[in-house]
Amino acid sequence: MRSWLSDSVIAAVTAAVVLLLAGTLGHAQTPAYRAPRTGDGKPNLNGIWQALNTADWDLQGHAAAKGPAPSLGAVFAVPPGLGVVEGDEIPYLPAAAAKKKQNQANWTALDPEAKCYLPGVPRATYLPYPFQIVQSQQNVLISYEYAGAVRIINMGAPTKAPGDSWMGWSNGHWEGETLVVDVTSLMDSTWFDRAGNFHSDALHVVERYTPRSADTLTYEATIEDPKVFSRPWKISMPLYRRVEKDAKLLEYKCVEFAEELLYGSLRKKSSN
Amino acid sequence: MSRRLLASTAALAAVVLVALLTQAPAAGQTPASATKATTVEKAWTPPHTPDGKPDLQGIWSDNTLTPFERPKGLGAKEFYTDQELAELTKRVRGGRQGEEVEGAELGAANPQAVRYDLELYGFDRTRLRYTSKRTSLVVGPEGVVPPMLPEARARNAARAAALKGHEFDSYEQRPLSERCILMNQIRIPMTPGANEGNLLQIVQGPGYVSLLHETDHSTRVIPTDGRAHVPQNIRQWQGDSVGHWEGNTLVVDTTNFTNQSAYRGSSDKLHLVERFTRAADDTMVYQFTVEDPTTWAKPWSAEIAWTKTKGPVYEWACHEGNTMISTILRGARVEEEAAQKKGK
């Protein structure tokens, strides 16, 4: 009786441990999904993708909040989200933490997104707009709907940036199923989100795009910037394929939506 | 005997190739272009992508000395002879900076241009070149854009009149290029101008061809799966492009332009067909036909031979660095204020 009980307890515990381990492993990295191949035998990442989260509002976990335009009521209020930062902590150096707070307090006036500026990396990935991967042997082009932003990822021998730019300089390579992109030479003028999270021109981003099913990718970005952060930190999120028939990026030339904000005060006063 | 046959076959192939390079008909003239397209395959087989499509990839420049419209004195002459072309090229290259040469579009080598790259922008005159024997980029016996219909003239005149006296009222009255919304270098159809940044990078993936202009990072990702255009009520600055392959030629059809995207005075009825055919390892023949029954009595076509060039394509962030609009508007407000003070 007792031995039967202890046997079944042991069995149950073992089963639980196995389940737990399997669960943990499964969570850490989706095992063994093998993506369809392109003509040259690489994992096929071609398609139109989009993040489905609130990372552009705030990379970190956040509750719902009143939006920046109370006159619009619940429209454009801040949606809640669990966050995409590993450990939910962004390791700011003390001075940088103060600047982040200032940014957040003056968000609408300072956020480059409000001005329709190029979003930089990784923000381009999780803006609430789709983007398209066009994968060839020599290059991978990523076209983003927001602001018509675009990147060319060089898949050949790594090259050096001719200078700093908004979207940075991308060298890519394959690690098994994963497209790994090393991004350098990013300007200090972009932000990570609407919560004022920012970086300097020392930013170095390593992105990993891993197929996890036919219509989802895992996107991870390791962020390193010794002028702003005390250690590298990481975000991760799934990306979803836009599976609608004939899905297509449309024009979102947001310049025309930012002009009133940028130049409205210089409008001619009506003369009467 | 067999050697002679071989030689004459080679000669014939060369003639066909030259004829093709110089005379490949523009889009719209379907029967002729279909025959010629077959000849392209025989003359030179382009490389193919892993999924079996003609490989158009690379970085291309549309720089050429060939003027857009034919110089008046040439009448119906569509092509120069080799000798004429050599003489013209020699005159251009030997000329002084800023010197005009009839029959040559000096582009960036014109006196107003301010450039910072010798090869692309024409300061190194030894690199100036005609990329085909055409006397003008516009094809056909006239070699010029057909005259605008009266209704189109009226439409454009009304727009200009409405703007007159209000050019500096607000950003809305400034040209689209100044606002970094639609810079002249990125307008489609693509035509060479006295411009910097006239590089185009082509990247192909399965079912898509993407065209990235260096200027203002303007990108078109064109589906080649035969799908229809997006609904007509969706209007875009650069229209809506769909593509398909005809032999070795990529054919791209674009409609759905806005009524402000006017190309040479066109309306939102503009219909553009572009054809991309690689004619050699370093040459792409780009042909286009524009049609707009509210602007021209008939469609017209042009052809430009592009040259493969080296990169990299730089990031061109126009809007992010735009201090022009605010400077211009501020200047206008300051002037108004001064005039008002003076008047009091």
A171 at interface of B, judged by CB pairs closer than 8 A: no
pLDDT over 90 at B93, yes or no: no
Select the residue from B182, B220, B221 to test the A interface by mutation, using most A Cβ atoms within 10 A.
B221
Interchain proximity B312–A159, CB inside 8 Å: yes
A186 at interface of B, judged by CB pairs closer than 8 A: no
Tens of pLDDT, residue by residue over A62-73, are 999 999 888 998
The pLDDT of B256-260, averaged and rounded, is: 95
Tens of pLDDT, residue by residue over A36-81, are 999 999 999 999 999 999 999 999 999 999 998 889 989 989 999 9
pLDDT at B26: 38
Q: B230-260 burial string, b = 16+ CB within 10 Å, else e?
A: beeeebbbbbbbbbeeeebbbbbbbbbbbee
What structural domains does chain B harbor?
Answer: 35-63+151-343 (2.40.128.20)
Reported as half-sphere exposure (CB side, CA atoms, 13 A), residue A149 has a value of 24
The pLDDT of B115-135, averaged and rounded, is: 68
What are the structure tokens assigned to A121, written together?
A: 């990396």
Reported as a pLDDT band with limits 50, 70 and 90, residue B199 is: confident
pLDDT over 70 at A165, yes or no: yes
pLDDT at A6: 57
The pLDDT of A190-215, averaged and rounded, is: 98
Give the percent of chain B with pLDDT over 70.
79
Interchain proximity B50–A268, CB inside 8 Å: no
The pLDDT of B128-138, averaged and rounded, is: 92
pLDDT over 50 at A185, yes or no: yes
Select the residue from B48, B203, B316, B334 to test the A interface by mutation, using most A Cβ atoms within 10 A.
B203
Interchain proximity B203–A38, CB inside 8 Å: no
Interchain proximity B237–A251, CB inside 8 Å: yes
CA distances from B165 to B33, B162, B175, B178, B332 (A): 48, 8, 14, 18, 12
Tally C-beta pairs within 8 A across A and B.
Answer: 126
Between B19 and B77, name the one with better pLDDT: B77
The pLDDT of B325-334, averaged and rounded, is: 97
Q: Which residue of A has its CA nearest to B328?
A: A266
**Where do the structural domains in chain A lie, given as residue ranges?**
47-66+78-263
Tens of pLDDT, residue by residue over B26-53, are 333 333 333 344 444 457 889 999 999 9
Residue B202, min C-alpha distance to chain A (Å): 9
The pLDDT of A85-99, averaged and rounded, is: 98
Residue A28, min C-alpha distance to chain B (Å): 31
The pLDDT of B48-68, averaged and rounded, is: 93
- In A, which residues are within 8 Å of B188 by CB distance? none
Tens of pLDDT, residue by residue over B298-321, are 999 999 999 998 888 999 999 999
pLDDT at A8: 58
pLDDT over 90 at A10, yes or no: no
Q: Which residue of A has its CA nearest to B329?
A: A266
pLDDT at B42: 58
pLDDT over 50 at B125, yes or no: yes
Cβ neighbors of B188 (< 8 A, separation 6 or more) are B220, B238, B239, B241, B254, B263, B272, B274
- In B, which residues are within 8 Å of A250 by CB distance? 230, 234, 236
- In A, which residues are within 8 Å of B177 by CB distance? none
The pLDDT of B274-286, averaged and rounded, is: 97
Interchain proximity B217–A117, CB inside 8 Å: no
Nearest Cβ partner of B221 from A39, A132, A166?
A132
Q: Which residues in B130-263 belong to E strands, given as ranges?
A: 199-205, 208-213, 219-223, 240-246, 249-255
Instruction: Please provide the average confidence, as pLDDT, over all residues in chain B.
Output: 84
Reported as a pLDDT band with limits 50, 70 and 90, residue B152 is: very high
By C-alpha distance, which of A208, A214, A207, A220 is closest to A241? A214
pLDDT at A271: 54
pLDDT at B9: 43
pLDDT at A233: 98
pLDDT over 70 at A31, yes or no: no
Range name among A113-122, B34-43, B237-246 with the lowest pLDDT average: B34-43
- In A, which residues are within 8 Å of B230 by CB distance? 248, 250
